Amino acid sequence: MSQTVSSDVVIRVRDVRKSYGDVHAVDGVSFEVARGEVFGLLGPNGAGKTTTVEMLEGLRKPDSGQLEILGIDADSQPDALKQRIGVTLQTAELYPKLTVTEVIDLFRSFYTRSLPTDQLIDFLDLGERRKALTRELSGGQRQRLAVALALVNDPEVVFLDEPTTGLDPAARRSLWDLVERLREQAKTILLTTHYMEEADHLCDRLAIMDHGRILEIGTAAELIDRRFSERAVRFDTLPGVEDAELTALPAVKSVKHDDGRTSLYTGDVPTTIGALLALTEARGLEPGDLGVRKATLEDVFLDLTGRALRD
């Protein structure tokens, strides 16, 4: 159901391909994004995220396939598109000798319609740095300025290409807050990332990309549940309790031990925990540090590709 979105599709990508020599940078990618959605492309270096996004922005030409934003064809009408979208480039240069205010004013002059500079500076929380040269900004401030520049024309659709790569955790959080505030303004957002926590935290739906292809699309919960229906109930290994007894507990599929911890893989966490507690109480034992572990997007990526997603 969440593979395609029927109501109010803002971004439509159909079987898009782009090669550089022998490299199939984007190799038959299709997805749709609905109005107001935060959609993520999650994948490792070289997956084809930037190539996909820059074709949508009208900055690169596809070899084949359709790219439509707000009903505008990105390939044939890039100029019409520019007034309606906001873009932060992965490799943006920010005019090192201009101040924050000057760069924003410069970008505002590119558009027929733009938001007031002060409003942008306040929204991006750059007030204290308005007179600073852009080269004096911290990584997080520079990234916020890049987003401010993407917002000058008050766009309906915002593209954020790896907005938090290289930022420290505090700056990353502040960027996340910013994306949340854009979501509240009902902007449609397409972001790329190779941080699974970021995709999990921010995206309504996401596509896992690798080697130019989309491997899975859905909400983070759907992607996880599709592959990992079981949860692990974990506790410190109980002395004198046999595996056979644990396997016999209701809903338990399998039992594993590692580093003094026992994991019961179960399709029904409450039932298994209830029975485990009944068993241990009858023995006068207590399962120490009892917890439940759910699979993560990282596990999904590993299962799909056999590789770990980089950091």
Ligand X SMILES: Nc1ncnc2c1ncn2[C@@H]1O[C@H](COP(=O)(O)OP(=O)(O)OP(=O)(O)O)[C@@H](O)[C@H]1O
Contact region with ligand X (CB under 6 A), list: 39-47, 62-70, 139-147, 282-290: 39-47
Q: How far is CA 237 from CA 246, 256, 269, in A?
A: 11, 10, 18
Binding partner at 263 among Mg ion, ligand X, none, C-beta below 5 to 8 Å by kind: none
Number of residues that bind Mg ion (CB under 5 A): 3
Smallest separation, CB 46 to Mg ion (Å): 8
CA atoms within 13 A on the CB side of 233: 25
Helix (H) or strand (E) run with residue 105 in it: helix 100-108
Helix (H) or strand (E) run with residue 171 in it: helix 169-184
Contact region with ligand X (CB under 6 A), list: 8-16, 45-53, 64-72, 73-81: 45-53
> How far apart (Å, rounded) are the C-alpha atoms in residues 205 and 11?
13
Q: Which residues contact 5 (CB under 8 A, 6 or more apart)?
A: 32, 33, 34, 37
194 interacts with ligand X by CB under 6 A: yes
Smallest separation, CB 21 to ligand X (Å): 7
CB-closest chain residue to Mg ion: 50
Smallest separation, CB 156 to ligand X (Å): 24
Residue 81 CB-density burial (10 A; 0-12 exposed, 13-18 middle, 19+ buried):
buried
* CA angle centred on 182, ends 145 and 28, rounded to 5°: 90
Cβ atoms of 141 and 121 within 8 Å: the answer is no
Question: What end-to-end distance do the CA atoms of the chain give, in Å?
Answer: 31
Q: Which is nearer to ligand X, 6 or 45 (CB)?
A: 45
Number of residues that bind ligand X (CB under 6 A): 13
Contact region with Mg ion (CB under 5 A), list: 2-10, 49-57, 205-213, 278-286: 49-57
Q: Which is nearer to ligand X, 194 or 231 (CB)?
A: 194
Contact region with Mg ion (CB under 5 A), list: 2-10, 82-90, 108-116, 292-300: 82-90
> How far apart (Å, rounded) are the C-alpha atoms in residues 271 and 281?
15
51 interacts with ligand X by CB under 6 A: yes
Q: Which is nearer to ligand X, 196 or 233 (CB)?
A: 196
Q: Helix H segments across 137-168?
A: 139-151
Smallest separation, CB 221 to ligand X (Å): 24
Question: Using the rule CB under 5 A, which residue among 18, 50, 88, 200 binds Mg ion?
Answer: 50
| The CA-based dihedral angle spanning residues 288, 292, 298, 302, taken in that order and rounded to the nearest 10 degrees | 80
43 interacts with ligand X by CB under 6 A: yes
Contact region with Mg ion (CB under 5 A), list: 87-95, 135-143, 149-157, 211-219: 87-95
Residues that bind Mg ion (CB under 5 A): 49-50, 90
Residues that bind ligand X (CB under 6 A): 20, 23, 25, 43, 45-51, 90, 194
